[in-house]
Amino acid sequence: MTDSIMSKAATMEIPINSNGDTGTLPEDDSLEQDLQQVMVSGPNLNETSIVSGGYGGTAEGIIPTSSIKGSNMHHSSSSSSMTAEETTRGVAVEKLETMRKWGLNTYKCTKQMISERFGRGSRTVDLELEAQIEVLRDTKRKYENVLRLARALTNHFYNMVQTQHALGDTFADLSQKSPELRDEFGYNAETQKLLCKNGETLLGAVNFFVSSINTLVNKTMEDTLMTIKMYENARLEFDAYRSDLEELSMGPRDAVTMARIDAAQQQYQVHKEKYERLRSDVTIKLKFLEENKVKVMHKQLLLFHNAISAYFAGNQQQLEQTLKQFNIKLRPPGADKPSWLEEQ
């Protein structure tokens, strides 16, 4: 049907009169029916052909577009699958390379560690830095003992204050119910309440002391010790690659060995720089830690001494002044609050 329409359209003549107006076309029912059929049904894009030779071209110049579309889709699908395959293969190769490097590094470090323990391998030692590290570890152990004892003191003193509070309430109740001993029970109740109030003030000071020591020991010192651990691991890696380079240098100098020596030299340099950088970090952190420790402990020991002395001397005014001096604020009386141990 399409060929019939195209044939008619190609051979049809449109008469033009002398004034340039088109003349009337002869009515052709078959042509009108064919046009209506084309408009209703429309062309099938999957079956549309590309004519390379124009109207009246031979069948050899007609290329079905469905075959072109199918070919392009197949090519695109193949390219996508190949790209995904290459990406997956690249990730797998990268993971295998990472595992290989990790395994090789672990083997070298384990070998170096065993050699050092059995006295067959040499290790790099910074005597001054090693001494400072040992002093820090010993200091941390002693401060941990101070922290443990201070917490125990807080616990015992908190229980005593609670007992005094309960005893004061009992004395006050008996003062109301025992007219013959009202005065005796009364001033004992007032004494226990005053001791309880001063005890809570002292607990505030001791709790601040414990909190500051805890921060110093378990945060500041621990942070420095973590850097020291990284430094010690870097030192072990450095010695492992140094020993590996020394072993290769003592062997034959053929082409294969020279290539291995060059690779070992590069690895040695990388781990040397890492070791020296971490050694510098440890030195700086130890210096700042010492300065911070002196500053913190000077303040906290003064607080502890003044608060304890004022409490046991019965000097309520000095005790309260001590808390103001160190900016320690207590919770208002009667407020719901956890125990002093729960706040640690």
pLDDT in tens, 8-19: 444 444 343 434
- In the predicted structure, residue 157 carries a pLDDT above the cut 90: yes
Half-sphere exposure of residue 229, counting CA atoms within 13 Å on the CB side? 7
For the residues 33-41, what does the mean pLDDT come to? 44
H or E element in which residue 127 lies: helix 127-177
Token pair of 226 as six digits: 């973590």
Query: What is the band of 80 on the pLDDT scale with cuts at 50, 70, 90?
Result: low
Name the residue range of residue 268's domain.
104-327
Work out the burial of residue 57: count CB atoms within 10 Å of its CB; fewer than 13 is exposed, 13-18 middle, 19 or more buried.
exposed
301 part of a folded domain: yes
335 part of a folded domain: no
50 part of a folded domain: no
Query: What is the band of 7 on the pLDDT scale with cuts at 50, 70, 90?
Result: very low
147 part of a folded domain: yes
Mean of pLDDT over the chain? 78
Return the bridge partners of 50, or none: 63
Residue ranges with strand state E in the chain: 49-51, 62-64
Query: What is the band of 168 on the pLDDT scale with cuts at 50, 70, 90?
Result: very high
Give me the CATH number covering residue 289. 1.20.1270.60
90 part of a folded domain: no
Top-confidence residue, 42 or 143: 143
Cβ-contact 199, 161 below 8 angstroms: yes
pLDDT at 78: 59
- In the predicted structure, residue 186 carries a pLDDT above the cut 50: yes
C-alpha–C-alpha distance, residues 109 and 231, integer Å? 14
Top-confidence residue, 297 or 115: 297
- pLDDT exceeding 70 applies to what percent of the chain? 72
The number of domains in the chain is 1
Among the residue ranges 103-112, 276-285, 293-302, 305-314, the one predicted with the least confidence is: 103-112
- In the predicted structure, residue 94 carries a pLDDT above the cut 50: yes
Most confident of 87-96, 104-113, 166-175, 250-259: 166-175
- In the predicted structure, residue 136 carries a pLDDT above the cut 90: yes
54 part of a folded domain: no
340 part of a folded domain: no
Nearest to 161 by CA among 192, 204, 206, 207: 192
293 part of a folded domain: yes
N-terminal to C-terminal alpha carbon distance within the chain: 94
pLDDT at 332: 59
